[in-house]
Structure 1
Amino acid sequence: MNKQNFFSDVQSKINHALENSPAKDIEKNVKAMMSQGFSKLDLVTREEFDIQAQVLAKTRAKLEALEERVAQLEAK
């Protein structure tokens, strides 16, 4: 038996053992519990966060421009 076949055989046996072990059920249960916990929190996706950060940056720029314009008008 060559090394490649040996390692492939060992890997397949380990994968088969893990699929049939209680560890797989524990993993599923932990993922389900975490998903349930995260759904209760008021979280946003990274994409939503990035979009809001861009909106905020544009709003700040407009506010600064308006403040400068008001200051110029007040100076007149």
Structure 2
Amino acid sequence: MIDPKKIEDMAKQIGALIPSQLRQAADDIEGKIKLILQQKLAQLDVISRDEFDVQRQVLARTREKVDLLETQVQALLAERTTPSTKDELPSSDQQ
């Protein structure tokens, strides 16, 4: 997830934009902004970079397996459609 320190820094930056006359209210606003940011970021469907890399590796392995299976299926289909020489009888034996 998002680093809580980054959220706090963002809230402070937004709070710093408030004029000095309203500094007392700024502390309250900063806290509310921090809370809102945490809530909204929690609603996002985000994963960590580590989770993403793991899933990418899983997908790569799965793709390799699918490619191998496709090759095997094609080979089996090719064997099935190729006429077998065992089934053919020589014409000289039939006479």
RMSD in angstroms over aligned alpha carbons? 2.3
- Give the number of the structure whose alpha-carbon radius of gyration is greater: 2
Q: Structure 1 stretch 56-65 or stretch 28-37: which is displaced more?
A: 28-37
Aligned amino acid, residue 71 of structure 1: Q
Q: 1:35 Cα deviation (Å)? A: 2.0
Q: Which has the higher helix share?
A: 1
Aligned amino acid, residue 42 of structure 1: D
Higher RCO (CA 8 Å, separation ≥ 6 residues): 2
* Displacement over 6 Å in runs of 4+: none
Say how many residue pairs are matched: 57
Aligned amino acid, residue 51 of structure 1: V
Give TM-score, length-normalised by structure 1.
Answer: 0.58
Identity %: 43
| 1:21-43 deviation per Cα after TM superposition (whole angstroms, max 9, x unaligned) | 66x84655444322211101221
Long gaps (5+) in structure 1: 1-17
